[in-house]
Structure 1
Amino acid sequence: MPDTPLKQAHAPDVSPRPSACPGLWRIVSARDGGICRIKLPGGLLLADQADAVAEAAERFAGGVIEATNRGNLQIRGIGSDHQGLIARLLAAGLGPREAAGDDVRNLMLSPLAGHDPAMLLDARPLAGQILDLLEGTPRFHQLSAKFAVLLDAGEGLAMLEHPHDLWLSALPIEQRTWLAFGLAGCPADGQVLGAVPVEQGLALVRAVLERFLDLAAVDQSRMRQLLECYSPAAFVEGLGLDIRRDAAVLEWRRPTRQPEWLGVLPQAHGLALGVAPPQGRLTPEMLRGAARIARHQGDGSLRLSPWQSLVLTNLDPGQITQAQGELSTLGLLCHSHEPLARISACTGSSGCAKAQGETKADAVALAALLGPGVPGSVHLSGCPRSCAVAHIAPATLLARSPGRYDLYVRDARLPGFGALRGIDLTLNEAGAMLDLPTEHLDD
């Protein structure tokens, strides 16, 4: 996928279609002001674009910028000048060619796509074709703003647990690269339904989207809803493509490992650096600082990750320690052993009327109670929707009331957050339980 911004259209006066999700043109109201979501092509943000986002957040909002779990950005606390904000972002190349194509740009890549030493192919050219297909096909603009596609090229730094309506994963068979695919799931645990040669990847995406729209009822906006009354096998049979479905494909499982997304990261050539804003919230100073280092010491780009972090690629190895120091001074987390790096939280009651607790502040307080070796990760959710994470965290604290939480531990045998391990806990009580080795939590 080319590292260049897309051409822009003038911002319309109204949203291209009804949706409750924020977008670039559609600013949604929240308790702390308006929210604008900037969908980035494969998570790519150029340094000059980062500066534009920082400026827009200061000029038109309260200066709060959020990294999302889908590799995008949000500006929160937007005031009354919506058109001024939109125009500034469009001028920086932070939108699609047409307003109607904004919602459907939901394609997730590895933040090291094209650079990861473990990749089986460079995903960016196919990703660019898929984005062009989504944006340029009027019929696909009927898709839900949440309908999402994952393109996994076998990278080591890859989020494999987020569910997607369609996922594709590179599969080597007989010295040839194929794309295995599944529906309404993820490569970590999803059922493989078939594979096509990588050259047919775009045709597969088109066929899946066309068939979904052919079959889905008005109230079936997501693939999982369609599959409740239509079998995956029947869906695949009607794609009109030559789908490989032998044992080498259907019994394949994506190799997985726990990725490290913070600190110095290996590239096929050179080094990358992963940093994270605490709780996914960037200040304008943080974003400008990261852009400055990317511009002067790297390739002039930032990659947003599904871990609500940033990856700076192609950094000068001789200056990477200095870069880490400068970013740490700005308040960015640079090492995975920092307790706050393993804690995420939703917006909380200051920004969301549904939240039962001030999760962002509580997460900071909880981090101070935890030792450096806390296993896995912890998510604080203000309500059962848990909209700030796309998969179930190893441990979830669900707010009951201000400062009090129920503790759940992920269990693949149980639905929802997993096994309930503590009820109506204070932060001190939750911290004491989370500081235990994992095997004690699982008892």
Structure 2
Amino acid sequence: MNQRPPSCSLRPSACPGLLRIVPALDGGICRIKLAGGSISSAQAVAVAAAAEQFAGGVIEATNRANLQIRGIGSAHAALIDSLLATGLGPRTAAGDDVRNLMLSPGAGIDRHMLVDTRPLAQQILATLQSHEPFHDLSAKFAVQLDGGEALAMLEHPHDLWLSAFVQNGERRLAFGLAGCPTDRPAGSVALDDGHDLVVAVLELFLDLARPEQTRMRHLLVEYRVEDLLARLARRVAVQAVVDWQRVPHADVLHIGSHPQADPAFVYVGAAPPLGRLAPAMLRGAAQLAQEFGDASLRFTPWQSLLLPNVRLADAVEVIQRLQGLGLQCQASHPLTGLIACTGSHGCAKGLADTKGDALQLAALLQRQGAALSVHLSGCPRSCAAAHTAPVTLLAIAPGYYDLYFRDPAQPGFGTLHARNLTIEAAATLLDALSRSPLDA
């Protein structure tokens, strides 16, 4: 259906959406929020076509498992209508900003999942879009729903997170405010009360927050968690969580072939270089999903993509063809561990060409046989990484960076290790440290 959703007035915001294209140095940006990170092959082809026809042909996978098109020219309405026609838009215009619900990329297929979170996610997303008071939430206000999968990003902070666990033989949802699932939970609810909990938390936030308090962390400066829990307990049955805390899986599971809950199938993960896909790359991946999978792609918070439900016998061919498209399917390749923001070519705040410098760094690390998780940030805002990477190179001038190592005792990027490094000097230093526990 090629029509705009009802209630098309949009509030001012610097955050791009599908219906709000915001300007950047390299043109407009349109962000497409994907339900659970999933997109059909037909929708992916439509995104590729829109990027070619109305923009500069740059598609980015984001760290919230969404897609965005960069370099958009003046044909905003035509681009938006082409995407709406494929069903990628919100139910209402005002509901686009608040569709911020992140699932594990392995939802429903992960061998280790305790709960298939997709039905609950659909219920939550419907309420976020249809319940008008929730449209007053910030475009950055975000919820995470974790089903206990091994393939799960557990380091991104969210305003509300829910994580499946088992207590006394009962599957429940632990939850926390303004943090990550690896934090100690604030409490838990029965599995069937997950939707009611989300509604209660969001309504409570809107009841208590002043206009300038746009995120849960702002509210927690003024209210203790215990006070908020007492108020929540009047709306939903909350229990304490005893002797449980979420533990992340140690292996790299978003790259390469990995078994699903059904042993006849695998998912295949592939990383576009620095999260950027050319239209031909996205179109080719969509074709492979149609031919070998279930005609869908899943995007991940690692700025990569998955082809789910691939038969085990087809995995090798799928990997070969993905690599032929320019996607990387080997976790040991340096590019799969690098994150870089748009940098000075696309952002006025960027102090260096982070994308170009990251490609140079990857080539140097590959020559040296080193593979590390490194984040190149053009400014202190850290737009490309929602979590603190083990290693951060913060641009201070074109081609020059300060080097930080993650330190839980330090805020921001961590501990400053070296200043004013060229990419060559950074590669040499990181190579010397590549056998240290930095990348753990």
Of 248, 255, 258 in structure 2, the residue corresponding to residue 256 of structure 1 is 248
Alignment of structure 1 residues 373-412 onto 2, 5 Å:
374=370, 376-412=372-408
- Match of 2:222, SS? coil
- Runs of 4+ that moved beyond 3 A: 11-15, 371-376, 437-442
Name the CA shift for 1:418/1:395 in 2 (closer, same or farther; >3 Å): same
Q: Which structure 1 residue ranges, 5 or more long, are not aligned?
A: 1-6
**Deviation by residue 1:87-137 (Cα, 9 ceiling, x = unmatched):** 000001111111110000000001110000000010100000010110110
Cα distance in 2 between the residues matched to 1:196 and 1:202: 10
Residue 373 of structure 1: how far off its partner (Å): 5.5
Residue 17 of structure 1: how far off its partner (Å): 1.3
Cα distance in 1 between the residues matched to 2:403 and 2:9: 39
Q: In the alignment, is residue 305 of structure 1 matched against residue 300 of structure 2? A: yes
Partner of 1:294: 289
Partner of 2:60: 66
| Aligned residue-pair number | 432
Q: In the alignment, is residue 227 of structure 1 matched against residue 233 of structure 2? A: no
Cα distance in 2 between the residues matched to 1:71 and 1:251: 31
Name the CA shift for 1:258/1:244 in 2 (closer, same or farther; >3 Å): same
Cα distance in 1 between the residues matched to 2:44 and 2:52: 13
**Deviation by residue 1:320-368 (Cα, 9 ceiling, x = unmatched):** 1111111111110111111111111000000000000000000000011
Cα distance in 2 between the residues matched to 1:126 and 1:326: 35
Alignment of structure 1 residues 99-114 onto 2, 5 Å:
99-114=93-108
Partner of 2:199: 206
8 Å CA contact 2:2, 2:81 repeated in 1: no
Q: In the alignment, is residue 417 of structure 1 matched against residue 409 of structure 2? A: no
- Match of 2:99, SS? coil
8 Å CA contact 1:359, 1:380 repeated in 2: yes
Name the CA shift for 1:296/1:200 in 2 (closer, same or farther; >3 Å): same
Name the CA shift for 1:96/1:11 in 2 (closer, same or farther; >3 Å): closer
Name the CA shift for 1:376/1:192 in 2 (closer, same or farther; >3 Å): farther
Q: Which amino acid aligns with 2:197?
A: L
Partner of 2:127: 133
RMSD value over aligned CA atoms? 1.5
**Deviation by residue 1:121-163 (Cα, 9 ceiling, x = unmatched):** 1010000001011011000000000000000000000000000
Name the CA shift for 1:95/1:410 in 2 (closer, same or farther; >3 Å): same
Name the CA shift for 1:228/1:168 in 2 (closer, same or farther; >3 Å): same
Cα distance in 2 between the residues matched to 1:149 and 1:8: 29
Given the two structures, how large is their TM-score scaled by the length of structure 2?
A: 0.96
- Match of 1:122, SS? coil
Q: In the alignment, is residue 50 of structure 1 matched against residue 44 of structure 2? A: yes
Partner of 2:230: 237
**Deviation by residue 1:150-185 (Cα, 9 ceiling, x = unmatched):** 000000000000000000000101221000000000
Residue 317 of structure 1: how far off its partner (Å): 1.7
Cα distance in 2 between the residues matched to 1:15 and 1:366: 44
Percent of aligned pairs with the same amino acid? 57
Partner of 1:433: 429
Residue 46 of structure 1: how far off its partner (Å): 0.3
Q: Which structure 2 residue ranges, 5 or more long, are not aligned?
A: none
8 Å CA contact 2:165, 2:173 repeated in 1: yes
Cα distance in 2 between the residues matched to 1:72 and 1:62: 19
Structure 1 residues 433-442 or 155-164, which shifts more? 433-442
Alignment of structure 1 residues 87-102 onto 2, 5 Å:
87-102=81-96
Of 336, 341, 358 in structure 1, the residue corresponding to residue 336 of structure 2 is 341
Q: Which amino acid aligns with 1:421?
A: H
- Match of 2:113, SS? coil
Q: Which amino acid aligns with 1:71?
A: A
Q: Which amino acid aligns with 1:233?
A: E
**Deviation by residue 1:403-423 (Cα, 9 ceiling, x = unmatched):** 110000000011110111110
8 Å CA contact 1:106, 1:149 repeated in 2: yes
Q: Which amino acid aligns with 1:337?
A: S
Given the two structures, how large is their TM-score scaled by the length of structure 1?
A: 0.95
Partner of 1:122: 116
Q: In the alignment, is residue 265 of structure 1 matched against residue 261 of structure 2? A: no
**Deviation by residue 1:46-79 (Cα, 9 ceiling, x = unmatched):** 0000000000000000000000000000000000
Structure 1 residues 206-215 or 232-241, which shifts more? 232-241
Partner of 1:351: 346
Name the CA shift for 1:148/1:132 in 2 (closer, same or farther; >3 Å): same
- Match of 2:156, SS? coil
Q: Which amino acid aligns with 1:210?
A: E
